[in-house]
Amino acid sequence: MATTSESGPVTVRSMLPILGASTIGTAIEWYDFFLYGFLAATVFPKLFFPELDPVAGTIAAFTTNFVGFLARPIGGAFFGWFGDRVGRKSTLIATLLLMGIATALMGLLPGYAQIGLAAPLLLSILRFLQGAGVGGEWGGSVLLSMEFGDDRRRGFWTSWPQTGVPVGLALSALAVLAFQALFPGPAFVSIGWRIPFLLSVVLILVGLYIRLRIVETPAFTQVKQEGRVSHIPVLEVFRHYWREIILSALLRSAEQAPFYIFTTFLLAYGVKALNLSTSILYTALVITAIISFVMMPIYSAISDRVGRKRWYMIGCVLMAAFAFPYFILLQTKITVIVVIAIVLSVSLFHDWLYGPQAALISERFGVSLRYSGASLGYQLASVTAGGPAPIIATYLVANSKTIIGPTAPSYTLIACFIIFMAVVSFISTSLLREYAGKAAAQDVPEPEAAAARG
Protein backbone atom coordinates (compact mmCIF):
# COMPACT_ATOMS: atom_id res chain seq x y z
CA MET A 1 0.00 0.00 0.00
CA ALA A 2 1.34 3.42 -0.90
CA THR A 3 2.30 5.80 1.81
CA THR A 4 0.40 9.08 1.94
CA SER A 5 0.70 12.17 4.06
CA GLU A 6 -1.89 12.61 6.76
CA SER A 7 -4.25 15.56 6.84
CA GLY A 8 -3.91 18.16 9.52
CA PRO A 9 -0.72 19.33 11.22
CA VAL A 10 2.53 17.79 10.03
CA THR A 11 3.98 15.52 12.71
CA VAL A 12 7.12 13.43 13.03
CA ARG A 13 4.98 10.30 12.85
CA SER A 14 3.29 11.33 9.60
CA MET A 15 6.65 12.28 8.11
CA LEU A 16 8.53 9.09 9.03
CA PRO A 17 7.73 7.16 5.80
CA ILE A 18 8.72 10.17 3.69
CA LEU A 19 11.91 10.84 5.63
CA GLY A 20 12.78 7.14 5.45
CA ALA A 21 12.31 7.01 1.68
CA SER A 22 14.39 10.12 1.07
CA THR A 23 17.13 9.42 3.62
CA ILE A 24 17.69 5.71 2.95
CA GLY A 25 17.82 6.21 -0.80
CA THR A 26 20.24 9.11 -0.40
CA ALA A 27 22.43 7.06 1.96
CA ILE A 28 22.67 4.28 -0.62
CA GLU A 29 23.67 6.67 -3.37
CA TRP A 30 26.33 8.32 -1.19
CA TYR A 31 27.64 4.91 -0.15
CA ASP A 32 28.33 4.28 -3.83
CA PHE A 33 29.82 7.72 -4.40
CA PHE A 34 32.11 7.67 -1.35
CA LEU A 35 33.44 4.19 -2.11
CA TYR A 36 35.02 5.55 -5.24
CA GLY A 37 36.47 8.57 -3.46
CA PHE A 38 38.05 6.44 -0.74
CA LEU A 39 39.64 4.00 -3.16
CA ALA A 40 40.79 6.80 -5.45
CA ALA A 41 43.14 7.80 -2.64
CA THR A 42 44.49 4.30 -1.92
CA VAL A 43 43.80 1.51 -4.44
CA PHE A 44 43.07 3.07 -7.83
CA PRO A 45 46.51 4.68 -8.37
CA LYS A 46 48.06 1.20 -8.19
CA LEU A 47 45.37 -0.58 -10.17
CA PHE A 48 44.54 1.89 -12.94
CA PHE A 49 47.63 4.16 -13.07
CA PRO A 50 50.55 1.85 -12.20
CA GLU A 51 53.03 3.49 -14.58
CA LEU A 52 52.85 6.89 -12.87
CA ASP A 53 54.87 7.96 -9.84
CA PRO A 54 52.92 8.04 -6.53
CA VAL A 55 52.06 11.76 -6.60
CA ALA A 56 51.08 11.74 -10.27
CA GLY A 57 49.11 8.52 -9.78
CA THR A 58 47.16 10.04 -6.90
CA ILE A 59 46.42 13.19 -8.91
CA ALA A 60 45.31 11.04 -11.87
CA ALA A 61 43.00 9.02 -9.61
CA PHE A 62 41.57 12.20 -8.08
CA THR A 63 41.09 13.54 -11.61
CA THR A 64 38.88 10.57 -12.53
CA ASN A 65 37.16 11.23 -9.22
CA PHE A 66 36.56 14.81 -10.41
CA VAL A 67 34.75 13.43 -13.48
CA GLY A 68 31.98 12.39 -11.11
CA PHE A 69 31.76 15.92 -9.76
CA LEU A 70 31.72 17.33 -13.28
CA ALA A 71 28.76 15.09 -14.07
CA ARG A 72 26.74 16.19 -11.05
CA PRO A 73 25.39 19.50 -12.45
CA ILE A 74 24.72 17.73 -15.76
CA GLY A 75 22.76 15.10 -13.87
CA GLY A 76 21.06 17.85 -11.88
CA ALA A 77 19.92 19.56 -15.09
CA PHE A 78 18.87 16.30 -16.80
CA PHE A 79 16.98 14.80 -13.90
CA GLY A 80 15.76 18.23 -12.79
CA TRP A 81 13.97 18.41 -16.14
CA PHE A 82 12.23 15.10 -15.42
CA GLY A 83 11.57 16.02 -11.81
CA ASP A 84 9.77 19.22 -12.80
CA ARG A 85 8.00 17.60 -15.76
CA VAL A 86 7.20 14.04 -14.67
CA GLY A 87 7.45 14.17 -10.89
CA ARG A 88 9.73 13.70 -7.89
CA LYS A 89 9.00 10.01 -7.23
CA SER A 90 9.68 8.63 -10.71
CA THR A 91 12.88 10.65 -11.04
CA LEU A 92 14.22 9.40 -7.71
CA ILE A 93 13.68 5.80 -8.80
CA ALA A 94 15.63 6.47 -12.02
CA THR A 95 18.59 8.07 -10.20
CA LEU A 96 18.80 5.15 -7.78
CA LEU A 97 18.92 2.63 -10.63
CA LEU A 98 21.54 4.59 -12.57
CA MET A 99 23.81 4.90 -9.56
CA GLY A 100 23.47 1.25 -8.60
CA ILE A 101 24.20 -0.14 -12.05
CA ALA A 102 27.25 2.09 -12.56
CA THR A 103 28.66 1.14 -9.15
CA ALA A 104 28.16 -2.60 -9.68
CA LEU A 105 29.92 -2.40 -13.05
CA MET A 106 32.90 -0.74 -11.35
CA GLY A 107 33.27 -3.83 -9.23
CA LEU A 108 33.64 -5.92 -12.39
CA LEU A 109 36.06 -3.59 -14.20
CA PRO A 110 39.49 -5.09 -15.12
CA GLY A 111 42.61 -3.12 -14.23
CA TYR A 112 45.34 -1.54 -16.36
CA ALA A 113 47.34 -4.79 -16.38
CA GLN A 114 44.47 -6.60 -18.13
CA ILE A 115 43.08 -4.11 -20.67
CA GLY A 116 45.55 -1.22 -20.69
CA LEU A 117 44.29 2.35 -21.23
CA ALA A 118 40.73 1.10 -21.64
CA ALA A 119 40.63 0.49 -17.87
CA PRO A 120 40.98 4.12 -16.68
CA LEU A 121 38.81 5.25 -19.60
CA LEU A 122 35.95 2.92 -18.63
CA LEU A 123 36.46 3.88 -15.00
CA SER A 124 35.97 7.54 -15.91
CA ILE A 125 32.77 6.76 -17.86
CA LEU A 126 31.29 4.82 -14.95
CA ARG A 127 32.32 7.60 -12.56
CA PHE A 128 30.53 10.07 -14.83
CA LEU A 129 27.34 8.00 -14.61
CA GLN A 130 27.72 7.84 -10.83
CA GLY A 131 28.01 11.61 -10.69
CA ALA A 132 24.96 12.07 -12.90
CA GLY A 133 22.95 9.84 -10.58
CA VAL A 134 24.00 11.79 -7.49
CA GLY A 135 23.32 15.03 -9.36
CA GLY A 136 19.68 14.08 -9.83
CA GLU A 137 19.23 12.40 -6.45
CA TRP A 138 19.79 15.31 -4.08
CA GLY A 139 17.09 17.63 -5.42
CA GLY A 140 14.41 14.96 -5.41
CA SER A 141 15.14 13.61 -1.95
CA VAL A 142 15.20 17.09 -0.41
CA LEU A 143 12.00 18.17 -2.17
CA LEU A 144 10.28 14.99 -1.02
CA SER A 145 10.85 16.05 2.59
CA MET A 146 10.25 19.74 1.97
CA GLU A 147 6.97 19.41 0.05
CA PHE A 148 5.42 16.98 2.53
CA GLY A 149 6.60 19.08 5.50
CA ASP A 150 5.63 22.49 6.88
CA ASP A 151 7.22 25.95 6.65
CA ARG A 152 7.96 26.35 10.35
CA ARG A 153 10.28 23.32 10.47
CA ARG A 154 11.49 23.31 6.89
CA GLY A 155 15.15 23.25 7.88
CA PHE A 156 14.58 20.26 10.18
CA TRP A 157 12.60 18.22 7.64
CA THR A 158 15.00 18.82 4.76
CA SER A 159 18.04 18.02 6.90
CA TRP A 160 17.16 14.33 7.02
CA PRO A 161 18.09 13.61 3.39
CA GLN A 162 21.34 15.43 4.23
CA THR A 163 22.01 12.79 6.90
CA GLY A 164 22.21 10.29 4.07
CA VAL A 165 25.72 11.67 3.51
CA PRO A 166 27.15 10.58 6.90
CA VAL A 167 25.24 7.29 6.70
CA GLY A 168 26.72 6.62 3.26
CA LEU A 169 30.12 7.74 4.54
CA ALA A 170 29.94 5.33 7.48
CA LEU A 171 28.70 2.41 5.39
CA SER A 172 31.41 2.85 2.77
CA ALA A 173 34.17 3.27 5.38
CA LEU A 174 32.94 0.18 7.27
CA ALA A 175 32.82 -1.79 4.03
CA VAL A 176 36.41 -0.87 3.20
CA LEU A 177 37.58 -1.69 6.74
CA ALA A 178 35.77 -5.04 6.74
CA PHE A 179 37.11 -6.22 3.41
CA GLN A 180 40.60 -4.95 4.16
CA ALA A 181 40.49 -7.29 7.16
CA LEU A 182 39.10 -10.19 5.13
CA PHE A 183 41.50 -9.61 2.20
CA PRO A 184 44.71 -8.23 3.74
CA GLY A 185 47.56 -6.68 1.74
CA PRO A 186 47.72 -7.44 -2.00
CA ALA A 187 44.51 -9.49 -1.84
CA PHE A 188 42.51 -6.32 -1.18
CA VAL A 189 44.03 -4.57 -4.22
CA SER A 190 43.30 -7.54 -6.46
CA ILE A 191 39.83 -8.63 -5.33
CA GLY A 192 38.76 -7.30 -1.90
CA TRP A 193 37.95 -3.77 -3.04
CA ARG A 194 35.48 -5.08 -5.63
CA ILE A 195 33.05 -6.70 -3.19
CA PRO A 196 31.73 -3.45 -1.60
CA PHE A 197 30.89 -2.23 -5.12
CA LEU A 198 29.02 -5.42 -5.96
CA LEU A 199 27.11 -5.28 -2.66
CA SER A 200 25.57 -2.06 -3.97
CA VAL A 201 23.08 -4.23 -5.89
CA VAL A 202 21.54 -5.45 -2.62
CA LEU A 203 21.28 -1.91 -1.26
CA ILE A 204 19.63 -0.68 -4.46
CA LEU A 205 16.91 -3.34 -4.18
CA VAL A 206 16.19 -2.16 -0.62
CA GLY A 207 16.02 1.46 -1.78
CA LEU A 208 13.70 0.64 -4.67
CA TYR A 209 11.31 -1.25 -2.42
CA ILE A 210 11.03 1.75 -0.11
CA ARG A 211 10.68 4.40 -2.83
CA LEU A 212 8.07 2.49 -4.82
CA ARG A 213 5.76 2.70 -1.80
CA ILE A 214 5.55 6.49 -1.61
CA VAL A 215 3.29 8.81 -3.58
CA GLU A 216 3.99 12.06 -5.40
CA THR A 217 4.41 15.22 -3.31
CA PRO A 218 1.28 17.36 -2.73
CA ALA A 219 2.95 20.48 -4.13
CA PHE A 220 3.87 18.90 -7.47
CA THR A 221 0.51 17.12 -7.69
CA GLN A 222 -1.24 20.47 -7.39
CA VAL A 223 0.99 22.05 -10.05
CA LYS A 224 0.19 19.17 -12.40
CA GLN A 225 -3.56 19.34 -11.75
CA GLU A 226 -3.58 23.08 -12.41
CA GLY A 227 -1.65 22.68 -15.67
CA ARG A 228 1.30 24.73 -14.46
CA VAL A 229 4.00 22.18 -15.28
CA SER A 230 6.99 23.89 -16.89
CA HIS A 231 7.66 22.93 -20.52
CA ILE A 232 11.40 23.70 -20.50
CA PRO A 233 12.39 23.77 -16.81
CA VAL A 234 16.15 24.20 -17.23
CA LEU A 235 15.87 27.20 -19.54
CA GLU A 236 13.09 28.78 -17.50
CA VAL A 237 14.89 28.38 -14.18
CA PHE A 238 17.98 30.11 -15.55
CA ARG A 239 15.80 32.84 -16.97
CA HIS A 240 13.92 33.57 -13.75
CA TYR A 241 16.34 32.41 -11.03
CA TRP A 242 19.87 32.79 -12.45
CA ARG A 243 20.94 34.93 -9.46
CA GLU A 244 19.68 32.36 -6.95
CA ILE A 245 21.43 29.52 -8.80
CA ILE A 246 24.80 31.31 -8.82
CA LEU A 247 24.60 32.37 -5.18
CA SER A 248 23.46 28.88 -4.12
CA ALA A 249 26.50 27.36 -5.81
CA LEU A 250 28.90 29.88 -4.28
CA LEU A 251 27.47 29.66 -0.76
CA ARG A 252 28.43 25.96 -0.75
CA SER A 253 32.14 26.76 -1.12
CA ALA A 254 32.83 26.80 2.64
CA GLU A 255 31.20 23.40 3.04
CA GLN A 256 31.94 21.58 -0.20
CA ALA A 257 35.70 22.11 -0.64
CA PRO A 258 36.64 21.49 3.02
CA PHE A 259 34.48 18.36 3.18
CA TYR A 260 36.45 16.58 0.46
CA ILE A 261 39.69 17.77 2.03
CA PHE A 262 38.49 16.41 5.40
CA THR A 263 37.50 13.03 3.87
CA THR A 264 38.89 12.05 0.46
CA PHE A 265 42.16 14.02 0.52
CA LEU A 266 42.71 13.13 4.20
CA LEU A 267 43.24 9.47 3.30
CA ALA A 268 46.11 10.21 0.95
CA TYR A 269 47.59 12.95 3.15
CA GLY A 270 47.26 10.96 6.37
CA VAL A 271 48.96 7.87 4.98
CA LYS A 272 51.69 9.44 2.84
CA ALA A 273 52.54 12.65 4.71
CA LEU A 274 51.75 11.68 8.30
CA ASN A 275 52.32 7.90 8.18
CA LEU A 276 48.97 7.20 9.80
CA SER A 277 47.28 3.85 9.26
CA THR A 278 44.19 3.72 7.04
CA SER A 279 42.33 1.79 9.77
CA ILE A 280 42.65 4.77 12.14
CA LEU A 281 41.44 7.19 9.48
CA TYR A 282 38.49 5.03 8.40
CA THR A 283 37.52 4.40 12.03
CA ALA A 284 37.60 8.14 12.72
CA LEU A 285 35.35 8.74 9.71
CA VAL A 286 32.86 6.15 10.97
CA ILE A 287 32.75 7.82 14.41
CA THR A 288 32.34 11.18 12.68
CA ALA A 289 29.45 9.91 10.56
CA ILE A 290 27.57 8.59 13.60
CA ILE A 291 27.86 11.95 15.35
CA SER A 292 26.92 13.82 12.18
CA PHE A 293 23.71 11.84 11.86
CA VAL A 294 22.60 13.39 15.15
CA MET A 295 24.06 16.87 14.73
CA MET A 296 22.74 17.77 11.27
CA PRO A 297 19.04 17.81 12.29
CA ILE A 298 19.93 19.71 15.48
CA TYR A 299 21.80 22.44 13.59
CA SER A 300 18.97 22.63 11.07
CA ALA A 301 16.28 22.90 13.74
CA ILE A 302 18.22 25.79 15.30
CA SER A 303 18.38 27.50 11.89
CA ASP A 304 14.57 27.37 11.77
CA ARG A 305 14.52 29.47 14.93
CA VAL A 306 17.43 31.90 14.55
CA GLY A 307 17.35 32.29 10.77
CA ARG A 308 19.25 30.28 8.19
CA LYS A 309 21.27 33.19 6.80
CA ARG A 310 22.57 34.17 10.23
CA TRP A 311 23.32 30.57 11.18
CA TYR A 312 25.09 29.85 7.91
CA MET A 313 27.23 33.00 8.01
CA ILE A 314 28.37 32.19 11.54
CA GLY A 315 29.31 28.73 10.26
CA CYS A 316 31.44 30.26 7.51
CA VAL A 317 33.39 32.24 10.10
CA LEU A 318 33.90 29.11 12.23
CA MET A 319 35.12 27.11 9.24
CA ALA A 320 37.74 29.76 8.43
CA ALA A 321 38.86 29.87 12.05
CA PHE A 322 39.36 26.08 12.15
CA ALA A 323 41.48 25.83 8.96
CA PHE A 324 44.92 26.07 10.60
CA PRO A 325 44.03 24.33 13.92
CA TYR A 326 42.77 21.32 11.96
CA PHE A 327 46.13 20.66 10.33
CA ILE A 328 48.05 21.49 13.52
CA LEU A 329 46.07 18.80 15.36
CA LEU A 330 46.78 16.26 12.59
CA GLN A 331 50.51 16.97 12.78
CA THR A 332 50.63 15.59 16.34
CA LYS A 333 50.05 12.10 14.88
CA ILE A 334 48.57 11.13 18.26
CA THR A 335 45.64 8.82 17.56
CA VAL A 336 43.16 10.41 19.98
CA ILE A 337 43.96 13.95 18.83
CA VAL A 338 43.78 12.95 15.15
CA VAL A 339 40.36 11.40 15.72
CA ILE A 340 39.18 14.53 17.56
CA ALA A 341 40.39 16.71 14.68
CA ILE A 342 38.53 14.60 12.13
CA VAL A 343 35.34 14.53 14.20
CA LEU A 344 35.38 18.30 14.75
CA SER A 345 36.13 19.05 11.10
CA VAL A 346 32.99 17.31 9.88
CA SER A 347 30.53 16.94 12.77
CA LEU A 348 30.90 20.53 13.96
CA PHE A 349 32.25 22.83 11.29
CA HIS A 350 31.01 21.07 8.14
CA ASP A 351 27.63 19.94 9.47
CA TRP A 352 26.89 23.41 10.89
CA LEU A 353 26.68 24.44 7.24
CA TYR A 354 25.51 21.28 5.52
CA GLY A 355 22.45 20.47 7.64
CA PRO A 356 20.51 23.73 7.01
CA GLN A 357 21.84 24.01 3.47
CA ALA A 358 19.07 21.94 1.89
CA ALA A 359 16.38 24.37 3.04
CA LEU A 360 18.58 27.41 2.40
CA ILE A 361 18.86 26.46 -1.28
CA SER A 362 15.55 24.79 -2.12
CA GLU A 363 13.23 27.33 -0.45
CA ARG A 364 14.14 30.10 -2.88
CA PHE A 365 12.66 28.40 -5.98
CA GLY A 366 8.99 28.11 -6.95
CA VAL A 367 7.41 24.62 -7.09
CA SER A 368 7.25 24.27 -10.87
CA LEU A 369 11.01 24.95 -11.25
CA ARG A 370 12.19 23.84 -7.82
CA TYR A 371 13.75 20.50 -8.78
CA SER A 372 15.84 22.08 -11.55
CA GLY A 373 16.75 25.21 -9.63
CA ALA A 374 17.71 23.51 -6.38
CA SER A 375 19.63 20.75 -8.18
CA LEU A 376 21.64 23.17 -10.31
CA GLY A 377 22.37 25.53 -7.43
CA TYR A 378 23.55 22.64 -5.29
CA GLN A 379 25.42 20.60 -7.89
CA LEU A 380 27.35 23.40 -9.61
CA ALA A 381 29.42 23.65 -6.43
CA SER A 382 30.76 20.18 -7.18
CA VAL A 383 32.61 21.72 -10.13
CA THR A 384 33.64 24.99 -8.50
CA ALA A 385 34.60 23.61 -5.07
CA GLY A 386 34.13 19.93 -4.21
CA GLY A 387 35.63 18.14 -7.19
CA PRO A 388 38.79 20.23 -7.56
CA ALA A 389 39.51 20.32 -3.81
CA PRO A 390 41.46 17.00 -3.47
CA ILE A 391 43.39 17.76 -6.67
CA ILE A 392 44.27 21.29 -5.53
CA ALA A 393 45.19 20.06 -2.05
CA THR A 394 47.46 17.31 -3.41
CA TYR A 395 49.23 19.78 -5.68
CA LEU A 396 49.65 22.36 -2.90
CA VAL A 397 51.19 19.84 -0.51
CA ALA A 398 53.58 18.51 -3.16
CA ASN A 399 54.70 22.02 -4.20
CA SER A 400 54.29 24.08 -1.03
CA LYS A 401 58.03 24.46 -0.36
CA THR A 402 58.57 25.68 -3.93
CA ILE A 403 55.70 28.16 -3.75
CA ILE A 404 56.13 29.66 -0.27
CA GLY A 405 59.59 28.54 0.85
CA PRO A 406 61.19 25.58 2.65
CA THR A 407 60.38 26.71 6.21
CA ALA A 408 56.59 26.97 5.86
CA PRO A 409 54.50 23.94 6.91
CA SER A 410 53.26 21.90 3.94
CA TYR A 411 49.60 22.48 4.91
CA THR A 412 49.79 26.30 4.90
CA LEU A 413 48.38 26.80 1.43
CA ILE A 414 45.59 24.26 1.97
CA ALA A 415 44.48 26.07 5.11
CA CYS A 416 44.51 29.37 3.20
CA PHE A 417 42.42 27.71 0.48
CA ILE A 418 39.80 26.70 3.08
CA ILE A 419 39.71 30.27 4.45
CA PHE A 420 39.22 31.65 0.94
CA MET A 421 36.30 29.27 0.33
CA ALA A 422 34.73 30.38 3.62
CA VAL A 423 34.95 34.05 2.61
CA VAL A 424 33.25 33.30 -0.72
CA SER A 425 30.38 31.57 1.09
CA PHE A 426 30.01 34.34 3.66
CA ILE A 427 29.64 37.02 0.98
CA SER A 428 27.29 34.92 -1.17
CA THR A 429 24.99 34.07 1.75
CA SER A 430 24.76 37.71 2.80
CA LEU A 431 23.21 38.54 -0.57
CA LEU A 432 20.32 36.07 -0.21
CA ARG A 433 16.79 36.66 1.07
CA GLU A 434 15.75 35.04 4.39
CA TYR A 435 12.94 32.46 4.17
CA ALA A 436 13.27 30.71 7.55
CA GLY A 437 9.86 30.48 9.24
CA LYS A 438 8.13 31.88 6.15
CA ALA A 439 6.53 30.38 3.05
CA ALA A 440 9.04 29.31 0.43
CA ALA A 441 9.29 31.20 -2.86
CA GLN A 442 6.23 30.79 -5.05
CA ASP A 443 5.92 30.30 -8.77
CA VAL A 444 6.11 33.68 -10.49
CA PRO A 445 3.97 34.54 -13.55
CA GLU A 446 6.02 35.47 -16.58
CA PRO A 447 5.47 39.27 -16.55
CA GLU A 448 6.22 39.54 -12.83
CA ALA A 449 9.33 37.34 -12.69
CA ALA A 450 11.94 40.06 -12.91
CA ALA A 451 10.19 42.30 -10.42
CA ALA A 452 9.74 39.51 -7.87
CA ARG A 453 13.44 38.69 -7.86
CA GLY A 454 14.24 42.21 -6.86
- Alpha-carbon distance of 21 to 132, in angstroms, equals 20
Q: What are phi and psi of 229, to 5 degrees?
A: -65, 130
Question: Using 50, 70 and 90 to split pLDDT, how confident is the model at 7?
Answer: very low
301's CB contacts (< 8 A; 6+ apart) are 153, 155, 156, 159
The single-letter code of the amino acid at 37 is G
Instruction: Report H helices in 108-193.
Output: 112-115, 118-148, 154-162, 164-182, 186-187
State which H helix or E strand residue 360 sits in: helix 351-362
CB 417 within 8 A of CB 253: no
Query: With b meaning 16 or more CB within 10 Å and e meaning fewer, what string describes 73-107?
Result: bbbbbbbbbbbbbbbbbebbbbbbebbbbbbbbbb
Mean of the per-residue pLDDT values of the chain: 90
Question: Residue 453: pLDDT above 50?
Answer: no
What CA–CA distance (Å, rounded) separates 27 from 343? 19
446: CB partners within 8 A, 6+ apart: none
Residues 386 and 134 sit within 8 Å (Cβ to Cβ) = no
Q: Which of 53-57, 297-301, 378-382 has the lowest mean pLDDT?
A: 53-57
User: What is the band of 39 on the pLDDT scale with cuts at 50, 70, 90?
Assistant: confident
Q: pTM for the complete prediction?
A: 0.86
Quick: pLDDT tens for 269-328. Answer: 998 889 999 899 999 999 999 999 999 999 999 999 999 999 999 999 999 999 999 999
Question: What confidence tier does 33 reach under pLDDT thresholds 50, 70, 90?
Answer: confident
Confidence class for position 337, pLDDT limits 50, 70, 90 = very high
pLDDT at 122 exceeding the cut of 50: yes
Q: Which residues are 214's β-sheet partners?
A: 3
| pLDDT of 406 | 84
Rounded CA separation 421/401 (Å): 22
Residue 217 CA to residue 219 CA, distance in Å, equals 6
pLDDT of residue 433: 94
Mean pLDDT: which of 89-93, 333-337, 405-409 is highest?
333-337
| Distance of alpha carbon 451 from alpha carbon 346, whole angstroms | 39
Q: Tell me, which fold does domain 12-453 have in CATH?
A: Growth Hormone; Chain: A; (1.20.1250)
Domain boundaries, the chain: 12-453
Whether 351 and 344 have beta carbons less than 8 Å apart is answered as no
User: Is it the case that residue 448 has pLDDT exceeding 50?
Assistant: no
- Kindly report, residue by residue over 140-164, the tens digit of the pLDDT: 999 999 999 999 999 999 999 999 9
CA-CA distance, 407 to 428, in Å (whole number)? Answer: 35
Q: The dihedral of CA 408, 37, 61, 420: what is its sign?
A: negative
Determine the Cα–Cα distance for residues 337 and 350; give it in Å rounded to an integer.
18
